[in-house]
Amino acid sequence: MRILFMGTPDFAVPSLEGLVEAGHCVCGVFTQPDKPKNRGMKLLPPPVKVCAQHHNIPVYQPVKLRDGTALALIQALAPELIVVAAYGRILPDDILAAPPVGCINVHSSLLPAYRGAAPINWAVLNGDRETGVTIMHMAHDLDAGDIIAQRSTEIGPDETAPELYDRLARLGAELLVEAVADLAAGTARRTPQDHSRATLAPMLSKELSAMDFTRPAGQLHNQVRGLLPWPAAVTTLNGNRCKVFSTTILETGTDAAPGTILRADKAGIDVACGGGTVLRIDQLQPDGGKRMKAADYLRGHPIPV
């Protein structure tokens, strides 16, 4: 099948690779413009651009999608199908209607759950035990199109959002290749979503970072796992602001007030939480410092119990 691929970050790379390996003609790739990164603010290409160039696929980085230029380019490329995976842009209706087979999307949740920008993070933040990927037809409303295929996977109790991100990227690529084969054969299913069951996964913000130790340890553990790699959970230890990167829920209980430091040594920093629960901080990063084990942090920043 002749396919135009649209994607930007690492998540989309396995999907593009999967289409190429399956023998489809990827006639072009749309991706976001190069962006300045790191201290030198050097312009770096998106991961999808790097992948496309490796396969000698033409790359296009339109700044606008609604001025007719992108549509004219798509019409010139004449794809049968547009595949979108974490492109980061909303497609206007004229582009959605351009390819004869339509536009499909690789979404990292079991729709209609978690429509929006950060479905992986919110699944972890909410302590879900299961998530998955959905291949769907794209519609005018965000993530509201008919479902072609879905595949679920368990979320590990200590699995972080970046770890789940990598797994779902691979799972989505596998399912995408199967769905495109079904579309080409004319056997793909089309199931409308139950919009009454839709939930949202909005963009993350630093307002979610502050750790409130009146909450149970399990909820704080989910917060730490779910806010990686950005904006990260944040707390203050003996007056020093720190990002928290890894925690452990302890089986021992406590009668101490939430926020009390129960232990601070080579094992980690144990903090009393709501409901008599205890959370151990294993890895952190103080402002202006580097990421380290809590035990290493304590050597230069002793904390009274």
Ramachandran bin of 239, using left for φ above 0, alpha for ψ from -120 to 50, beta for the remaining angles: left
* Domain 2-197 architecture: 3-Layer(aba) Sandwich (3.40)
Domain boundaries, the chain: 2-197, 206-300
How high is the pLDDT of residue 22?
98
Helix (H, G, I), strand (E, B) or coil at 153: strand
Distance (Å, rounded) from C-alpha 83 to C-alpha 29?
10
Instruction: Give CA 122 to chain center in angstroms.
Output: 9
pLDDT at 88: 94
Which pLDDT does position 36 carry in this prediction? 87
pTM of the model: 0.95
- List of the chain residues with pLDDT < 50: none
- Residue 129, SS3? coil
For 123, what's the count of Cα atoms within 13 Å in the CB-facing half-sphere?
Answer: 33
> Checking phi first, is residue 33 left (phi over 0); if not, alpha (psi -120 to 50) or beta?
beta
**Rg of the chain, C-alpha, whole Å:** 22
Residue 183's SS3 state is: helix
Could you say which of 3.40.720.10, 3.40.50.1000, 3.10.25.10, 3.40.50.2000 is the CATH number of the domain covering 206-300? 3.10.25.10
